[in-house]
Chain A
């Protein structure tokens, strides 16, 4: 982000066209109602499942003494991971001066907001006594990574929400008088969220400074959030978790999941909102290369994470790795590694594969695989404790997620999709002012649609 804004774009007639294009889909229509109603119904069903869990306790899940972290914690790691892409795109690439990320920066921030907000709820879903949540703050121990995790998740969520709102202020002001087609309450919301912004150079200066602080703060916080999440595992001595590279391993994996999520939303924005003038083939090409880059870094960490212990085959690691490579989890493990990492990496090397449609398919597979990858990090380790499993019923030894638990997990994903839908439908998904500024600065560049 530049430290100064050339406000001449406000006088440029291109602004009108850009604002009209981007604001056209904004508002509520029948399609949106139907979509939200269907998601709402699904959410209600899942809430019913949660009600059962509240009533009966965690016994309705497949969690028992040995596997006490199952689908819920894997889901939590997935949510935190996916939310990190906000930091990668807006902060890291943005501050390095890459201009192409401008139209997709907000999409990344929407993902960050939705996923970090729901991540907190996912943790609550793993609690048998959720009303005791305040105890974390009342009796939590600063020595425990759990408390650090709670701290950074809240901080990251706050930063993401602030970044989303702040970078939208000029757009809210531009939209004044331009969203006559939207309901009044939405116009009032816009008015409120514009914070009296009048495009004065002074206001821009302060805004840019504030955004800059956020962008810089988000980098260490995002690193912290996922590194601490990885420490929840890595500070134990258990096979599969007892690793010094867990922090970077998690971070690089997070970028893979997040980039895939951004690509999926980009495809949706381009096609459904007819914004292909702004989210162009070039953006898909660049995101394809980015996904390749983060995948190869993740691949490198995977190689270290599995090959080094597999070479040594220490007693307990050996048991764990055998389960992954050829045992109970082999099918899931190899599917995830091949479909979620290796094959996409190879495909992305070819330019035709970096076109929107193939990219969408790749991104969906990668995102699903990254959910299962988290399950593979959590469950197999829990299933192979150091001491032989004895004195317990057979059903406790292996983890079988129940329908209730699956429904609650689907519920959290539904909730995230709902938040994303609301943010994408009711507010401009592409930063009008940043795109307009960019276009008026380089009037001769024509987008490849």
Chain B
């Protein structure tokens, strides 16, 4: 076989493998991590939850999954299952919570759209289509039996620019105490969404975490970066979050998108080629229209001088 032919056949083979693996992917079962699979709601599903869940379902999910029990989901590949079916109901509460939060393929991820309480409300609604369902309620986790009035994170900068320290403290009766063994995440605010810095890390015995900041992190013209840190586990103390602005980035001054002459910009910033084309076309055509009007005037004037009887 000559080289060209062998290349073509190799190409076809690769394309074929690629295609078949793509189809295989879509059919693989949706793996749920073990710890997520056993997760349960901390509150008992009541009518109020089901009603809120119904509204949320109707606005967020119906367009794909259809109305539960009516089997009117839209046809997609893979098929969004009707919530009343066994396929969906066989999921554990935790599995449902995971799948709705994370999404897969055409199924969107809702973790940034709905709060975790609302996702549980939707699950409450979905479960109302399952007669055999008996809810199990999670035991509220405690932090070693300790209770706090307030838990907070302090962010500080250390060793020049290379790391950010987060410290988690619990407060009770005016006494502060560092909390160990809590996972903290650090984010940078970006134009679109947030960027995680380093990785989620547990606090050490002093309640501290050291995040390594990459040395190419772009900041504003003075190197400032907007950060926030939060505890990963919202079930212990609710949402614990702190924001801060720190000079840890590389000073960057990129011209803003609305600076140059561009199609998307305001009229004063029309691209010159477009401006000239437009003006030249308009002037040319309307100039000629005025030539025609002028000729009309000449006809009129010529007629004044002539006397004929027709």
Measured CB to CB, the residues of A under 8 A from B are: 10, 139-143, 148, 151, 155, 158-159, 162, 166, 169, 173-174, 176-177, 195-200, 202-203, 206-207, 209-210, 213-214, 217, 221, 388-391
Contact = CB atoms under 8 A, between A and B. Distances in A.
Contacts of A151: 278, 282
A213 B292 contact: yes
B299 interface: yes
B291 interface: yes
A388 B299 CA distance: 63
A221 B264 CA distance: 26
B274 A143 contact: yes
Contacts of B46: none
Interface stretch (B4-12, B125-133, B301-309): B301-309
Interface residues of B, number: 36
Contacts of A200: 302-303, 306
Contact of A141 (B62, B64, B270, B301): B270
B220 to A, nearest CB: 29
The binding surface of chain A is classed by DSSP as helix
Interface string B268-286: 0011001100100010011
B292 A143 contact: no
Nearest to B303: A196
Contact of B306 (A155, A195, A198): A198
B34 interface: no
B267 A140 contact: yes
A143 B278 CA distance: 10
B23 interface: no
Contacts of A169: 299
B59 interface: yes
Contact of A203 (B266, B286, B292, B299): B299
B302 A202 contact: yes
Contacts of B242: none
Contacts of A198: 302-303, 306-308, 310
Given A200-B306, A221-B285, A166 B267 contact: no
A148 B285 CA distance: 14
B292 A166 contact: yes
B196 interface: no
By Cβ-Cβ distance, the 10 closest A-B pairs, closest first, are A196-B303, A210-B295, A198-B306, A195-B300, A141-B267, A142-B270, A388-B63, A210-B292, A390-B63, A143-B263
Contacts of B274: 142-143
A199 B310 CA distance: 9
Contact of A142 (B64, B275, B301, B302): B275
Interface string B225-265: 00000000000000000000000000000000000000111
A195 B303 contact: yes
Contacts of A139: 267
B216 interface: no
Contact of B302 (A141, A148, A162, A203): A203
A10 B310 CA distance: 9
Given A177-B310, A389-B63, A390-B63, A217 B264 contact: no
